[in-house]
Amino acid sequence: MDIAVGTSLDRIIIIAYFALVMGFGAYFGKYSKTTSDYFFGGRRFSWWLISISIVATGVGSHSFLKYSTKAYQYGFSSTMTYMNDWFFVPLFMFGWLPIIYYMRIKSIPEYFERRFNSKARYLATILTLIFMIGYIAIQFLTLSTVLYKIFGIPLMVTVILIAIATTIYMHFGGQTSVIFTDLFQGFILIFAGMLLFYLGIQFLGDHTPHSGLHAFWTNLSPVEKLPLAHFNHPPDFNFVGIFWQDGIAGSVGFLFLNQGLIMRFMAVRSVNEGRKAVAFNALCILPISALVVSNAGWIGRAINNAVPGTLPVDMASNDVFVAVTNIISSPGVFGFIIAALCAALMSTSDTLVNASSAIIVNDIYKPLSKKKNSDGEQLKVARWTSLGVKVIAVIMVPFFNTFDSIYEANGWFHATFTPPLAVGVFLGIFWKRFTTPAIIATFIGGAFLMILGQIFPEMVSPFAHGIELRPNRGYSYIGALYNIVVCAGVGIIVTLFTKPNSDKKLKGLTIFDVLKLKEIYKGSRPNEELGKPVNVNWELMENDNDIIQFSTNDMETMKAYPGDLVYIQDARWWLGGLRSVHTVYGNPHNEDGVVYINSSHLDHGQFLEGLQLKAEKEM
């Protein structure tokens, strides 16, 4: 079906939006001074800022198309994948998050080297990079498919234009730009999704004798209102398969292996702020996101039931998002909603590009480079790497275009690359005995058995929970359970016959050492006394040491002692920590309400003359 889409006004709005986001991202480039800033945003942001920016990362452009398609076909059960992440939250909040934060782990492959050895790191690097760059390619393909319909520019040209647009602000700004553009785009995404729902409800109210919400509810069948799909039928959308693929493998993949998400959490100012971001995201943002990405499909289904003939009879389910948006919105609003789709794409791909670039610099360039490179040189490499990653992603687009649907391409990706890494990292964190030969065997042996499972799907049948095996197409989702079992099986068996690493080598890298992490991070015993933050004026001192000095009384209020760690930020809360630094308490002076900082703190924190700072003890 051909959908006539967009007016000139819509096209102008989409172009203006791209320009706005590029300018916004480029502006925040000034806050990236070092590779730590470029990749991790200087570990300074508040939970709410990180939480909203995660929305834009989690909701990719493919999410709108993929979930609205499933919502149109199956109803509310399209939300399943957004509502099954809580089971792993305790282990993430109190296991993985403190480990990566306090051990200053810069990438997932780096964890594999520290926990196991360099071979494990290289294998993990290859798997992670293929996964992320492929994922970027899928994002490019999705949006290009939509924009192609609106602008009529050939698909590959659209792909290249989108890659250039995101490169402009990423190249200069790194993680800080990513966080702030994602914050902006997160709001846009939520607003646009809610607007679409509101317009759909209004449309239903205008075209039926009932009020909008009533018309929406009554024009969905009971089956379409169920929040979970049928247990094991049909093969391309069933509960149990999706539970293992997304609820288990996907959740571990997202929380424990997604380099983009890990870097986002490394950018928070403390572990506790990271926990707040996770909790807020999982309890408040995920339900909203589910509504945002699915509602075009539900509205489409309700319109089809209430006002047959409004949507084209021969419309493919994949086209429901564009078709419904086109019908229920006026010119300009359509452009805005498509711009939100662009927001989803850009924010997901910028996170992944930044993450891939971090892995290339930290896991390939730095270990292989013979000379010791300066931070400036590494930053330069990081910037050019992000460009290279995009070029490779663009080259991969035609490959993904050969899949029947974006949903299938995405599913294949998760099923193929997540299980070995997920099993490896999970056993690594939570099983002290898990050995180095076992992780290598998990990667190689597990991958071999997974390939066998793809070639001979009968091997997956014992795990199928009664899901039908489709001739020549295998199992869609339940393969994840088979993949997890074979990878874990290989890992466990090899572990039982090999020698575990010493406790010294494992220090701080498993959940059993979480108690010691703060001490490792600080380098001395942490000060856990509860103090209060203080507001102070700053004065510049001539000193190169990384210390700042407060009065004795202010130190007493914060319950701090020289040598403790302190976080100091611009007192305006809504900056979310953008102007801030982490440093160390020096010896106290006698001027209450004054902090002495050096020029390096001033440069890094970008503090403004005459504005107060807020300081609090970290540990």
Write out the residues near another protein by the rule CB under 8 A.
76, 83-84, 86-91, 93-95, 98, 217-218, 222-223, 225-233, 239-240, 243, 247-248, 272, 275, 279, 282-283, 287, 430, 511-512, 514-515
Query: Which DSSP letter does residue 403 get?
Result: S
Q: Report angle CA 22, 27, 29 to the nearest 5 degrees.
A: 100
Residue 255 Cβ vs another protein, minimum distance, rounded to whole Å:
11
Q: How far is the CB of 446 from another protein (least distance, A)?
A: 20
Closer residue to another protein (CB): 87 or 573: 87
Query: For residues 107 and 219, which CB has a smaller minimum distance to another protein in the complex?
Result: 219
- Examine residue 457 and say whether the peptide bond preceding it is cis (omega within 30 degrees of 0): no
Q: What is the DSSP letter of 497?
A: T
DSSP per-residue string spanning 505-534:
HHTTSSGGGHHHHHHHHHSS---------E
Q: Which lies closer to another protein via its Cβ, residue 455 or residue 515?
A: 515
Q: Report the SS3 class of residue 423.
A: helix
Cα torsion angle, 584, 587, 589, 592, sign: positive
Nearer to another protein, 172 or 567 (CB): 567
C-alpha count within 13 angstroms, C-beta hemisphere, residue 209: 0
User: Please, what is the minimum distance in Å from the beta carbon of residue 619 to another protein?
Assistant: 13
CB of 241 to another protein, least distance (A): 11
Going by C-alpha positions, the residue among 229, 138, 245 that lies closest to residue 478 is: 245
**Identity of the residue, 226 or 387, whose beta carbon is nearer to another protein in the bound complex:** 226
Identity of the residue, 406 or 467, whose beta carbon is nearer to another protein in the bound complex = 467
Residue with smaller CB distance to another protein, 35 or 208: 208
- Write down the least CB distance from residue 115 to another protein, Å: 16
Question: By three-state DSSP, how is residue 307 classified?
Answer: coil
Burial class (CB within 10 angstroms; exposed 0-12, middle 13-18, buried 19+) of 232 = middle
Report which DSSP code applies to 227: S
Min separation Cβ 74 and another protein, Å = 11
- 3-class DSSP string for 148-182: HHHHCCCHHHHHHHHHHHHHHHHHHHHHHHHHHHH
Closer to another protein at the Cβ: 400 or 567? 567
Q: Which is nearer to another protein, 119 or 230 (CB)?
A: 230
CA dist 171 to 30, 144, 198, 265, 379, Å? Answer: 12, 21, 37, 21, 10
Tell me the closest approach of the beta carbon of residue 94 to another protein, in angstroms.
4
**Hey, what are 382's tokens?**
């990081």
The encoded tokens of residue 124 equal 């993990």
Provide the minimum distance between the beta carbon of 580 and another protein in the complex, in angstroms, as a whole number: 22
Structure tokens belonging to residue 405: 């649907």
Report CA torsion sign: 278, 260, 228, 337.
positive
498 touches 438 (CB < 8 A):
yes
Comparing CB distances to another protein, the nearer of 54 and 447 is: 54
Distance in Å, CB of 564 to another protein, minimum: 18
- Which residue lies nearer to another protein by CB, 235 or 247? 247
> Are 240 and 408 spatial neighbours (Cβ–Cβ below 8 Å)?
no
Provide, rounded to whole angstroms, the least separation between the CB of residue 516 and another protein. 10
Alpha-carbon span 51 to 171, nearest angstrom? 23
Helix or strand holding residue 537 (H, E):
strand 534-540
Which tokens is 44 given? 């300074």
Say which residues have a Cβ less than 8 Å from residue 604's Cβ, sequence separation at least 6: 33, 42, 581
Q: How far is the CB of 182 from another protein (least distance, A)?
A: 24
d(CA 88, CA 84): 9
Task: State the minimum distance, in angstroms, from the CB of residue 168 to another protein.
Answer: 39
Cβ closer to another protein: 198 or 231? 231
Residue (34 or 218) nearer to another protein, CB? 218
Least Å distance between CB 567 and another protein?
Answer: 16
556: Cβ contacts below 8 Å, ≥ 6 apart = none
Instruction: Please state, in angstroms and as integers, the Cα–Cα distance from residue 391 to each residue in 138, 384, 386, 394, following that order.
Output: 13, 11, 9, 5
